[in-house]
Structure 1
Amino acid sequence: MPDGCSLICLLQDYVGMLLNDLKNKDEIKRKMVKTLTSCSFSQNMEIANKSLDEGVNALRSTGYCALDITARTAKKFYVGVSELSPFYLFFETGLVWDLALNLPYIPGSVIKGVLRSYMTDLCNKNEECISYVYEIFGVPEKDIHRGENVEIYVTGLDASSSLLVVLDSYPIKGERLLTGDITTPHYFKRGGAVKNEYEVSPKPSLRVAINEGVTFRFVVGIHQDALPLFQEWASYLGYKSGGMSFLLPLFYAFKQGIGAKTSRGYGEFELEDFSLVSFNFIKPKKVGRVRVSGR
């Protein structure tokens, strides 16, 4: 496999092909997928891994406990399926791509949002349980979460600060990073929903996804004040995991899926290894206090 494939250069080449031959768009897409899936990104992944080493050291230097996890994709994986992706022009879906490292990645904000969402869902609308989640993740002033049937009030200052620092997650190992994928939409025609799927003739659509068997590295900085909150949250769910309670949400997310199309089995991960680095905490300034009340 060729190493060092530049996504920008490939996109420029294929955009030129499209502009010169729009009638053969599907064939050009097939060629692009073949090229991308034959690329090796091993050198890029080595650089990303070293960058995450620096991230772990930075968290240690500020007094956080660094939770360092490697997990392997058990299924194909999409993240950042939107028009913001460089792949959107070709596939109408995409991947979040770091143009500097020339790799797909999972934004830290996405990981944090997934963890918060799963933790809140598991609370089953229990106000006390949800209050632990918001103390861990922080909330903006007068943030209203209708789906959770609770209203959040922050007293004191304008916002409550998060007790977690989540770094962007990058692939660090995998023989073939990208793979082709086929989707067959049934329920849309000419941009609108159809009432009867027999009214349409589904046309398979080619996509690019992150392959199975790719190892990602996840790094989370944990403030010491988050530890008892994780324990209280886990206790509500019936888990007595003590000081390791903060592992439960991430392991649950790996099983349920991260990214897009999780309801169809995409985005599942299998744990490979984890470590905890430094419990020499330094407390960052806490802003505001959280109170949760039902409607």
Structure 2
Amino acid sequence: MAIDFLVNILELIKEKQCNINLFSAISLTSIVYNNFGEFLSNNQSYSTNNPLLKYHIIILNDKNKTKDVEEKRNIFKREVAELISRNFKLDGEKVRNYFDSLKEVLKSLKYTIVDVEITTRTRALIGVSTSLGKLIFGSGISFDPYMNLPYIPASEIKGIVRSYIEGKLGEQEAEEIFGNEEREGNVNFTDAYPTRSKDFLFVPDVITPHYNGKKSEADAEPRPVIHLTIAPKVTFRFLIYYKREDVGKPICDSMPIILIRGLGARSSVGYSLFELRKIEVIK
């Protein structure tokens, strides 16, 4: 049953049906991936009628039939990553409507709003420690099942802005803006969602861990690991809102510098770097 459902999902992704819920697809794929040895041991898996054959997950020719389970799992992983990357398209209208509606509500409540758009300059890794995708790709991704889109959590944006302001203006000033354990802050952030992309929303990437628990270089066995990343040239949008006018300037001033330094994982080695595309203050 799970295999049949997975085939249907993969087929729809292959046909570029972007309304497929990717959260469900990746979750189900992870279950199949985790039980791949059991799946391969089923004689029906090698039936010529098995629709998974079209995805090269099961290989019947003599050369590849002898591949071990781990090699076939890697074929499965690569095929799924490539299908998602090539064919899952961004529909930004739902996100734009969400932010436009939210802005109207915040304006009615007399908030000052900062409408921010940021664009990935490099491949980005957001939410690598989250569970979605971690089982199959070894690296998770922050994903909203309702929006059916990856997102940057508000807490991550707020945390990196606070860290910068604390370093520049001091802890007391940062607490005045963002609050502390005993007092609520004076500024709020929304999650950031993608609104448009130049080509793809996701791209597969490969890292090659050399040591992976080994004690010495002589024991190292480098093995490439494929995983999903946010593609370059993807624009995310989020809102910042507040009522105290004096908190806006230090936050807006910090944005370009923070984005150059990176927002997400592995920024020190060239991932998760952004540029400020738009920042608009609405009073």
Taking structure 2 as the reference length, the TM-score comes to 0.76
Please list the CA deviations of residues 152-187 of structure 1 after superposition, one character each: whole Å capped at 9, or x if unmatched: xxxxxxx21111110010000013100011111134
- 1:210 corresponding residue in structure 2: 230
Q: Following the alignment from structure 2 to structure 1, what is the Cα–Cα distance between the partners of residues 95 and 165?
A: 29
Q: Following the alignment from structure 2 to structure 1, what is the Cα–Cα distance between the partners of residues 174 and 27?
A: 42
Q: Which structure 1 residue ranges, 5 or more long, are not aligned?
A: 124-128, 141-158, 231-243, 279-295
Please list the CA deviations of residues 224-257 of structure 1 after superposition, one character each: whole Å capped at 9, or x if unmatched: 2543xx6xxxxxxxxxxxxx44312222211100
Residues 122 and 262 (structure 1), Cα distance of their counterparts in 2 relative to 1, 3 Å cut: farther
Q: Following the alignment from structure 1 to structure 2, what is the Cα–Cα distance between the partners of residues 225 and 10?
A: 43
Contact 2:265 2:272 in 1 (8 A): yes
* Partner secondary structure for residue 200 of structure 2: coil
2:50 corresponds to 1:4: no
Q: Following the alignment from structure 1 to structure 2, what is the Cα–Cα distance between the partners of residues 31 and 257?
A: 30
Contact 1:5 1:41 in 2 (8 A): no
Identity of aligned residues (%): 26
Deviation at 1:277, TM superposition (A): 1.1
Give the counterpart letter for 1:38 in structure 2.
R
Q: Following the alignment from structure 1 to structure 2, what is the Cα–Cα distance between the partners of residues 98 and 77?
A: 17
Deviation at 1:12, TM superposition (A): 2.1
Q: Following the alignment from structure 2 to structure 1, what is the Cα–Cα distance between the partners of residues 192 and 29?
A: 29
Q: Following the alignment from structure 2 to structure 1, what is the Cα–Cα distance between the partners of residues 184 and 34?
A: 47
Deviation at 1:79, TM superposition (A): 1.2
Task: Judge which range, 260-269 or 113-122, deviates more.
Answer: 113-122
- 2:217 corresponding residue in structure 1: 197
Q: Following the alignment from structure 2 to structure 1, what is the Cα–Cα distance between the partners of residues 208 and 236?
A: 28
Deviation at 1:18, TM superposition (A): 5.3
* Partner secondary structure for residue 70 of structure 1: strand
Residues 260 and 64 (structure 1), Cα distance of their counterparts in 2 relative to 1, 3 Å cut: same
Give the counterpart letter for 1:69 in structure 2.
V
* Partner secondary structure for residue 201 of structure 1: coil
Give the counterpart letter for 1:202 in structure 2.
P
- 1:94 corresponding residue in structure 2: 140
Q: CA RMSD in A?
A: 2.0
Contact 1:178 1:210 in 2 (8 A): yes
* Higher relative contact order (Cα pairs below 8 Å, separated by 6+ residues): 1
Contact 2:33 2:136 in 1 (8 A): no
Q: Following the alignment from structure 1 to structure 2, what is the Cα–Cα distance between the partners of residues 108 and 14?
A: 27
Of residues 51, 70, 93, the one that matches 1:46 is: 93
2:256 corresponds to 1:251: yes
Give the counterpart letter for 1:255 in structure 2.
I
- 1:151 corresponding residue in structure 2: none
Of residues 150, 166, 170, the one that matches 2:193 is: 170
- 2:275 corresponding residue in structure 1: 270
Residues 13 and 131 (structure 1), Cα distance of their counterparts in 2 relative to 1, 3 Å cut: closer
Residues 17 and 245 (structure 1), Cα distance of their counterparts in 2 relative to 1, 3 Å cut: closer
Structure with a larger share of its residues in strand: 1
Give the counterpart letter for 2:192 in structure 1.
S
Taking structure 1 as the reference length, the TM-score comes to 0.73
- 2:209 corresponding residue in structure 1: 185
Residues 47 and 135 (structure 1), Cα distance of their counterparts in 2 relative to 1, 3 Å cut: same
Q: Which structure 2 residue ranges, 5 or more long, are not aligned?
A: 1-14, 41-68
Of residues 98, 120, 127, the one that matches 1:80 is: 127
Residues 13 and 85 (structure 1), Cα distance of their counterparts in 2 relative to 1, 3 Å cut: closer
- 1:60 corresponding residue in structure 2: 107
Of residues 133, 136, 152, the one that matches 2:177 is: 136
